[in-house]
Amino acid sequence: MRKLPVVAIVVAVGSAFSVAPTGGAIAGRELRFFTHDTQQAQLDLGDEGDSIGDRYVFSGDVFDHQGGTKVGRLGGLCDTVSKGAKGDGEDVCTVTLALARGQLMISAAVDHDAFLGGTPQLIAITGGTGIYRAAQGDGTVTVLNATDTDTVVRLD
């Protein structure tokens, strides 16, 4: 099984969210964040080895930028949903960001090999709780190494 890095996809939407109201007040904003996994587990749940059904579970810290202020925690999982003849495939990931004034939900379908290779992947902001209950938009997440990601979030 190939170990996925911090899919912290996704994703750190931190300090700017912790003070921003929902709805139109955050629309049109672009936010950048850095995430760092502190725990990871790769579960071989499908056929033995790299296969459909495998699950990657992770949690970690969300920062306003690399080396910056911690603004929250994240937890997420990625499930392998397809595998190609060359071992490539697709993962579907869901991430929850726990921030000071609510939670933010992120979802993505990522190209496994491109994602691990550092190619930015699209993410969807699918809602949240507290001040994030009306959050929606998209963005990208880029894997930097086995524990870190850079994330850009664009809010509608």
Ordered mean pLDDT values, 10 residues apiece, the chain (156 residues):
44 38 58 92 92 95 95 95 84 91 90 90 91 88 94 84
Integer Cα distance of 23 and 119 in angstroms? 30
Q: Is there a contact between 64 and 151 (Cβ–Cβ < 8 Å)?
A: no
| Domain locations along the chain | 15-155
Integer Cα distance of 66 and 35 in angstroms? 8
How do beta strands 55-63 and 121-128 pair?
unpaired
Written as six digits, the tokens of 4 are 């996925």
- Give the Cβ contact number of residue 115 at 10 Å: 24
Q: What pLDDT was estimated at residue 88?
A: 78
Q: What pLDDT was estimated at residue 129?
A: 85
Q: What pLDDT was estimated at residue 25?
A: 54
Written as six digits, the tokens of 27 are 């629309």
**Following DSSP, what letter does each residue of 34-46 receive, concatenated?**
EEEEEEEEEE--S
Integer Cα distance of 31 and 58 in angstroms? 22
Integer Cα distance of 22 and 38 in angstroms? 29
Q: What pLDDT was estimated at residue 50?
A: 85
Q: What pLDDT was estimated at residue 30?
A: 81
| Superfamily for domain range 15-155 | Allene oxide cyclase-like (2.40.480.10)
Q: What pLDDT was estimated at residue 27?
A: 64
Q: What pLDDT was estimated at residue 84?
A: 79
Name residue, tokens 């491109």.
114
- Give the Cβ contact number of residue 82 at 10 Å: 13
Per DSSP, 112 falls in state H
